[in-house]
Amino acid sequence: MASETLTLECRHCEAGNRIPVERALKDLRAILCGRCAGRLLRVDGERLSDLTDDDLAHPWDREALAKLRAVPMADKLLSRVFSGTLDKVARFRHLAGAVRVSDQQLPTLHRLHLEAAHRLDVEAPPLFVSQSPVLNAFAVGAGTPFVTITSALVDSLEDRELVAVLGHELTHIRLGHTLYRTLALIMIQGGLGVADRMLGIAGLLATPVKVALMRWYQMSELSADRGGLLAVGDIDVHVRTEMKLAGGTSRFAAELDPQAFIDQAREADEARDQDVLLHVMELLDSSNRSHP
């Protein structure tokens, strides 16, 4: 069967080019216009200035967010949660207990952060590094969002992989995810007791809101993964990053195989699709899981 192709219009001379998808994915930089030999794809950190939020957001993200916003009391709940209090507390905790990245503090990481923001055409928010043995990154804050990555993540990933992670988190900010995601993080981390004492919100967080919130939270990750891929501009790097986050090891990093990881993911999909029990259990588990 012939390889799948796509037609791209050259942004330099407007000539149409038919490109085999499989060949394009092997080396995005090698895809050149047949007429003027200009690069058809914007790689190497070039700003994606005409990228729209609709281009970036995954359809499942948009659908789930619409359902969440349709839940009665959801907007009232969020307005009560984020009256300026939790944002201030979160930012203060990071100022007091993490390292804020800048051109003077961790300048290499700062440069990678600015690269990802430039690529996605978004203003770079504050970036913090938090001491933790867990590989993790998150974007929080309703009015003034910021990004945090853990020390273990920085130590485990290469520079290009960090760009992918930072692009992922910046996409959450660009698409306005942080308001709902901060509430979800509080719920996941068991912080509702404190939040309720401060703001009286637990009674408002009914089961339908919880289910809709967690379902959307997972779907928003699909959009953010799109942003991470666009930020780094290299599908191999992006897959390798996801693999390391799933179960990477610094000791045997050279022995990790991205293709084997992809095959494993497909095997999991097939197992779920062919077994009703697995499918049902996955649905039941979705309310307690942050990622799809």
Please identify which of the residues 14, 63, 115, 169 carries the catalytic annotation: 169
Q: How far is CA 120 from CA 84, 104, 117, 158, 162, in A?
A: 28, 24, 5, 20, 15
Alpha-carbon torsion 272, 278, 284, 288, what sign? Answer: negative
Q: How far apart are CA 113 and CA 123, in angstroms?
A: 10
Q: How far apart are CA 127 and CA 232, in angstroms?
A: 18
Q: Specify whether 169 is catalytic.
A: yes
The residue written with tokens 């055409």 in the block is 121
What type of residue is 205? Answer: L
Kindly list the catalytic residues: 169
